[in-house]
Chains A and B, each alone.
Chain A
Amino acid sequence: MLELIDIEYKVKGKTILNKINLKIDTNKVLVITGHNGSGKSTLLKIIMGIIKPTSGKILLDGKDITKLKINERADLGLTFTFQTPITFKGITVFDLLLMANKKYPTYIDMKEALGGVGLCAREYIDREVDSSLSGGELKRIELATALIKKGKYLMLDEPEAGIDLWSFDSLVNTIKNIKSKNNLSMIIVSHQQKILDIADDILVLDGGNIKYYDKKRKVLKKIKPSGGCKECKMNY
């Protein structure tokens, strides 16, 4: 179980996250949604150790991990993908996938991870992870690093961002597959209905506060705008 206790994050006196408390059981999918700037990415980064919270605690299976480094959390099974993929100079897709799993992944493993995000290994494995790749390609590679790393808690920050309409369904399938094949939990930041559909629980952030946090069915009822259209589902 992953537990956040009174997580608070302030920058220059401004509260970005305000006393966040949540518990994520193993084998569950939590989808976090909310307006731009509501603190979703910050929350995932705090769990991963990329941002230090101003106060509060994070427990992983009862163990306090608040002070652990990013890589120590990674080793404990926390896996995170960035909303905006990181680019490098001279590091290829192969290099990155090799680094992502300490058990020396084989070409077959890499092919599977890339295939899971709709990329042909033969075509991409030697490409450099730099801006010569398109936005969507970079995003897929970012997701592939998580697929090959594996872990107990998979945190995906807007996995759909930059993925074209035609590939979106297969991405959703990949996410569903990971969930059904592995004994893991997922925390996904998303604005997409199809991803909300995979959720067990939904958390709605609003200005750094938890607005709703409950079973999917209950939250969906609350956030469906009365008389709103599909497009405006965020206007809760």
Chain B
Amino acid sequence: MQNELLEKISDYKIDNNVAHNIRENGESISRVETENIKIETKKDKPGINIYIKENTKEEYVHIPVIITKTNYKETVYNDFYVGKNADVTIVAGCGIHNDCETESAHNGIHTFHIEKGANVKYIEKHYADGLYDNNKFINTDTIINLDNNSSMIMETAQISGIDKAIRKTNTILKDDSTLKIKETLMSDNKEEIETNFDIKMEGKNSNADVSSKSVSRKDSKQTFKSNVEGNNKCFAHVSCDAIVMENSKVTSIPAIIANSKEAEISHEAVIGKIATDQITKLMSLGLTESEAEEKILEGFLK
């Protein structure tokens, strides 16, 4: 079960040559540090501090969380200190397996302190499975502080099975810093997802590109909220592209605020059903209607 969950939330293999901390039901079950990456357990609250030395080049750190216990709730604080000019890929994610009626919940608060000139790629996947509805919850708070000339690429995905998720991403960008977020969401059955982006473009020539793609099925609900504030010469674009199926509902509430006349901010939101002519085309190649739908969604979320 443990390995299956890990595979669901990460495409990478974790071994002893790569820095990592695997958290299972509140315990660290495996931890490896490297010369450049140190991991310490927080003393005042649950969670870890991860220190990445300045000038670290092309290293990885994996910090998956899995929950296989039922009637279990946790709030975990992880802090990432990324030193000057470091270049690192951080792979996080949370997987829950719960076959009982009682709850399993993970609240993850991740704070990134990204120093000048550092580049971070952050990959995160959330997944849950189990026999009952309305008892598996994953909420995330991702706080990103981008110092001058630093960058963050965030690829975040919620694949399926989480009954309710509130996702918050708050970013502050300083001069010449870059943020690129690619979010992929899929909700099924009665699942509910709320995703919020709060982005403050403080620095001159800061650049942000946020793209959220989602598919909602059956009776699920999704809400997308974004708030981008441009306080300097900056460029930001937010897009929310959703495919709505069956009885599901999607709401998109984007807000853009320009406090500087040199702030260039835009947003686009497209919500619609699967294009019928796409289904028709694939059916004309011999796919059944549901096979055609699957292929279209697979491509869309890619």
What is A's interface to B at a CB cutoff of 8 Å?
48, 50, 69-71, 74-75, 79-80, 82, 86, 88-91, 95-96, 99-100, 102, 145, 149
Contact = CB atoms under 8 A, between A and B. Distances in A.
Nearest to B277: A86
Contacts of A88: 278, 296, 299
Contacts of A74: 283-286
Given A86-B277, A86-B278, A88-B278, A149 B296 contact: no
A161 to B, nearest CB: 16
Contact of A70 (B278, B283, B299): B283
Given A88-B296, A99-B295, A50 B284 contact: yes
Contacts of A69: 283, 288-289
A90 B285 contact: no
B289 A71 contact: yes
A114 to B, nearest CB: 16
Contacts of A102: 286
B72 interface: no
Contacts of A79: 284
Q: Which of A75, A82, A86 has the most CB of B within 10 A?
A: A86
Interface residues of B, number: 21
Interface string B276-302: 011011111111110010011011111
A74 B292 CA distance: 13
Given A69-B289, A71-B289, A90 B284 contact: no
B299 A95 contact: yes
Contacts of B301: 90
27 contacts: A48-B284, A50-B284, A69-B288, A71-B283, A71-B284, A71-B287, A71-B288, A71-B292, A74-B284, A74-B285, A74-B286, A75-B286, A80-B284, A86-B275, A86-B277, A86-B278, A86-B280, A88-B299, A90-B298, A90-B299, A90-B302, A91-B296, A91-B299, A95-B295, A100-B285, A100-B286, A145-B285
Given A71-B292, A74-B286, 9 more contacts: A86-B275, A88-B278, A88-B299, A89-B299, A90-B300, A90-B301, A99-B285, A102-B286, A149-B286
A91 B295 CA distance: 8
A99 B277 CA distance: 16
